[in-house]
Each structure stands twice: as C-alpha cells, then as structure tokens.
Amino acid sequence: MAKYKLTLEYDGTSYSGWQTQKNARSVQGTLFGAAQQLLGREVDIQGAGRTDAGVHALAQVAHLETGKPMPPKKLMEGLNDRLPSNINVLRVEKVHDQFHARHHAVARTYVYLVSRYRTAFGKRYVWWVRDPLAVERMQAACLLFQGFHDFVSFADKRFDKDASTRVKLDRIEITPQEGLIVFRITGSHFLWKMVRRMVGVLVEVGRGKLTPKDIEQMLASFSETPAKYTAPPSGLFLAQVQYAGDREETVRLPFLISPFMNV
C-alpha cells in the first residue's frame, strides 16, 4: 500500500459537509468516488477535520491510501480530471505509512468573512451584516477566547457526544479590510459549530447587544445563548492544517472576494 498527503480546496455550498454520509452529497464521498475511478476499489481517504454543510476549505488536508501507487503529479492530475469544478486538489505528496491527516495535525486555522455591504458575487462566501459593527469592541472581546477554555457553550454536542469540550485557542484576530471584517482563529482543534458560534457572539458584541462580561459567563458555565447567534456557514473557511515543523501561512482569500487581499 502507498500513502499520499492531499491538500485540497473546495466550495462547500452544495455539499452536506466533508464527511461521507448516507443519502447526502459530501466532499469526502465525492473525492472517494474520483479516487476509485482512478485507482480501483482498494482506496481509503481520511480528512484532517470535518467541515459542516456549506463550509468551505482553502487548504483541507487528507491522506489517501491505495494499493496502486503512482507519481504524485499524475495522481493529482488524475483526481482533478474526475472531480467536479468545486473541488480542486492543490498538492499531492508521498508520505510514510504511519502518517494520519487528523491524528498528526497540531493546529488548524479557520477564517470567517463578514461583509459590510450587500454583494451579488461574494454572497456564498461571506455573511453580510447590515448593521454597523464596532470593530474595536469586537477586537477587545475576542481576546477572551484565547488560551485553554471549556467551550461547551459554543459546541453542538449532538455530533461529538463523548468529545471533551476543553480546547486551546492559540490565536484569534479580527481585522477590518476594505469592505470585510476578517476573523482568523487558530487552535489545536475545534468542536462542531464552535467557530460559527464564536463569530456570532462577537458580532453581537459589535452590535452592542452583548458585552465582554457575557462572554466571560459563557466560558465559565454552560449557556444556550451562543446557539441563538450561530453565524451562517457561508463565511467560514478551513484555511490551514499544520503539522510538526509547519509555519503559519498567509491566507489568500477566494478571488471573488478580492484577488489582492491577504490575511
């Protein structure tokens, strides 16, 4: 058996999420189908993390194991020839047999885009918030999330019933750029809907409807409030998965948002 590390991007709008599901179109299932067409039935594909329905990826990582080895460039071209246009394999690297895309990842970075104006072209990649937002207030409040906390208030436990809700966030930044407010969040791992609920709560701080004290209380004990403010999936991107020795990269946003904007 040969094992490869795949880095891929996808527009998640028309998918039920990354993970293969019965009677639903998933990114993993679509990639698996393309791999079987190219390599035969003896194929296994595992991703670095699950993205929700409608969530995008700029650099998702997966490993592919096959009994039919081929040069990485040929494998990449063969997969892309069989994939729909909304999934694109960016890189393929041969890796050792023990490599695991999820278990060996040390950090993940998500980017969330809030638009300050109505847009026809970028609607599927942003959350348009028509209310004025106090960015400086949001920037101050976001620092409360950094470090090691229990994010039970920000997780939907229906999916990971037995998972620990304690998560270490290494960095969270909010940067205004042209017509966007860009959230960049890096952590060891993330719980289901956690990032979208964090963004939703911070937007409410920007609106003046929540305070930093409210966030402190949500982190101190369980609250159902974040669920009410869950941000839509359209603005969320898995931007980078880091492994031992990797450096944090500059994220290039989709060209429909801005061809020259980096975060």
| Same domain flag for 111 and 234 | yes
Does 190 fall in a domain? yes
Catalytic residue (one of 11, 44, 52, 156): 52
| Same domain flag for 67 and 126 | no
pLDDT band at 162 (very low <50, low <70, confident <90, very high): low
pLDDT, mean of residues 24-30: 95
Does 149 fall in a domain? yes
Owning domain of residue 221? 107-242
pLDDT, mean of residues 168-173: 94
Residues forming beta bridges with residue 150, ordered by sequence position: 166
The per-residue pLDDT for 263 is 53
pLDDT band at 156 (very low <50, low <70, confident <90, very high): confident
Reduced to 3 states (helix: H, G, I; strand: E, B; else coil), residue 150 is strand
| Same domain flag for 139 and 237 | yes
Give the chain's mean pLDDT: 91
Residues forming beta bridges with residue 149, ordered by sequence position: 167
pLDDT in tens, 49-107: 889 999 999 999 999 999 999 999 999 999 999 999 999 999 999 999 999 999 999 99
| Same domain flag for 75 and 112 | no
175 Cβ neighbours under 8 A, 6+ residues apart: 181, 182, 184, 263
| Same domain flag for 131 and 230 | yes
The per-residue pLDDT for 220 is 94
Q: Is 154 exposed, middle or buried (0-12, 13-18, 19+ CB in 10 A)?
A: buried
Residue 159 pLDDT greater than 60, yes or no: no
The per-residue pLDDT for 224 is 93
pLDDT, mean of residues 6-14: 96
Does 88 fall in a domain? yes
pTM higher than the cut 0.85: yes
pLDDT in tens, 205-249: 999 999 999 999 999 999 999 999 999 999 999 999 999 988 888
The per-residue pLDDT for 260 is 38
Number of compact structural domains in the chain: 2
Active site residue 44: no
The per-residue pLDDT for 129 is 95
Q: Number of helices and strands (H, E) in the chain?
A: 6, 10
pLDDT in tens, 108-154: 999 999 999 888 878 889 999 999 999 999 999 999 999 999 999 99
The per-residue pLDDT for 257 is 60
